[in-house]
């Protein structure tokens, strides 16, 4: 049996769902179970292709909005791409901030003394006597 080729509209819709973490079998299964009303996405996908000028442009715009929204723990829909269209070139994922720790205690850099200090549980600043490799950098949300 010959496999059906996805249309441009299907490709854009599927790309939207891929950015949401779905796989193609999941999309198909959820569409069968009516968890996803696939037809609801055809019109916005078609309009997005027209606005972007190509399916590749539409998929790129979806990816930009997806990265931006996920980095801020925001939900997004395919319509979010339209709302953010004029600022697409300015949408950047939120910068990940890493903070230094030593033995689970936070560290502070003293610009004046040009030294690292470890802030213990009592709030005392203790001069860091270890090496750079001993510093544990953690992502703080």
Asked if 27 and 46 touch (Cβ cutoff 8 Å), the reply is no
Query: Reduced to 3 states, what is the DSSP secondary structure of residue 42?
Result: helix
Asked if 55 and 13 touch (Cβ cutoff 8 Å), the reply is no
Q: Each residue of 57-115: pLDDT tens digit?
A: 999 999 999 999 998 899 999 999 999 999 999 998 888 788 999 998 999 998 998 88
In sequence order, what are the residues at sequence separation of 6 or more whose Cβ sits closer than 8 angstroms to the Cβ of residue 121? 105
pTM of the model: 0.69
Dihedral Cα 12, 18, 20, 23, nearest 10 deg: 130
Mean pLDDT, the chain, whole residue set = 90
Q: Each residue of 40-52: pLDDT tens digit?
A: 999 999 999 999 9
């Amino acid at each position: 049996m010959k496999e059906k080729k996805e249309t441009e509209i299907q490709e854009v819709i599927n790309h939207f769902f891929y950015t949401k973490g779905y796989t193609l079998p999941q999309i198909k299964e959820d569409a069968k179970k009516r968890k996803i009303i696939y037809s609801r996405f055809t019109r916005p996908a078609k309009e997005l292709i027209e606005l972007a000028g190509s399916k590749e442009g539409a998929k790129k715009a979806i990816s930009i909005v997806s990265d931006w929204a996920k980095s801020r723990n925001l939900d997004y829909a395919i319509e979010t791409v339209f709302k953010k269209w004029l600022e697409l070139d300015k949408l950047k994922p939120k910068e990940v901030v890493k903070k230094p720790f030593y033995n689970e205690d936070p560290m502070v850099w003293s610009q004046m003394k040009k030294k690292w200090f470890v802030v213990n549980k009592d709030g005392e600043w203790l001069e860091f006597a270890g090496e750079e490799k001993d510093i544990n950098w953690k992502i703080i949300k």
